[in-house]
Amino acid sequence: MSSLEIDSLIKLLSNLQGIGPRSARRIVLQLINKKNSLMKPLGNMMIDVSNKISNCKFCGNYDSNNPCTICTDAKRDKNIICIVEEVSDLWALERSNFFKGTYHVLGGTLDALRGISADKLNLNNFFDKIKEGNIKEVILATSLTTSGQTTAHYILNKLKKLDIKITRLARGLPAGGELDYIDEATLGQAIFERTLVQEKQDNE
């Protein structure tokens, strides 16, 4: 029988996505076996991250700086914005090292069955950016799931009357695929070969 503290730690780890009770027990045993070299440094690092990390007020990314390092990077193209569902999708695209614009994290997708409507997503902040008039292209990088496509369609309808170029990731991505599980090369190619949804009007 393990102690109450160990059982509590196993239970907490089991709450993480992709980690069941059996995996949690293995992780806890590894941590205990390496208490000084791994468990204590990990605990200290988790406290440090918890105290310092917050959502970027502009894009929603996690960073110790606010605005985040992506939003404040002078080399980024501020005229192009890529819409993603979660921070994990942003990180996945960053790993491809292909996209050099900015991002906007929705914090989820529209889902009527789960009661997630537009007002529960980070959409108002996005539309405020559009109203500023500096955005020339919007890349819809939501996943190819039903809820991801529903969300992309909703945003497209809101933007279709505006003079903004709208593109989507290339169709080489697997149907139902989530960006965080797709390799960097495929993501990079999907960004590079993104397909046109709405052309920016030439007013000259």
CATH number at residue 34: 1.10.8.420
89 and 25 belong to one structural domain: no
Verify that 38 and 88 share a domain, yes or no.
Answer: no
Q: Per the domain annotation, does 203 fall within a domain?
A: no
Is there a single domain that holds both residue 74 and residue 110? yes
Question: Same structural domain for residues 30 and 85?
Answer: no
pTM of the predicted model, to two decimals? Answer: 0.81
Q: In terms of Cα–Cα distance, which of 148, 6, 154, 1 is closest to 84?
A: 148
Number of domains in the chain: 2
∠ CA 197-164-167, nearest 5°, is: 30
Can you tell me the distance from the alpha carbon of 119 to that of 151, in angstroms, rounded to the nearest whole number?
12
The verdict on 72 and 129 lying in the same domain is: yes
Tokens of 183: 């390799």
Measured between its terminal Cα atoms, the distance across the chain in Å is: 76
Kindly state whether residues 39 and 105 are assigned to the same domain. Answer: no
Positions of the chain with pLDDT lower than 70, given as ranges: 1-2, 171-181, 185, 189, 192-193, 198-204
Give the pLDDT score at 204.
Answer: 47
Domain that holds residue 165: 62-198
The angle, 0 to 180 degrees and rounded to 10, between the axes of the packed helices 124-131 and 146-159 is: 30
Element (H, E) at 124: helix 124-131
Domain CATH for 193: 3.40.1360.10
Q: CA distances (Å), 113 to each of 117, 118, 127, 171, 177, in order?
A: 10, 13, 25, 27, 20
Residues 94 and 192 in one domain: yes
In this prediction, residue 199 carries a pLDDT of 65
The Cα–Cα gap between 26 and 34 comes to 12
Render pLDDT for 70-99 as a digit per residue (tens, 0 to 9): 999 999 999 999 999 999 999 989 988 889
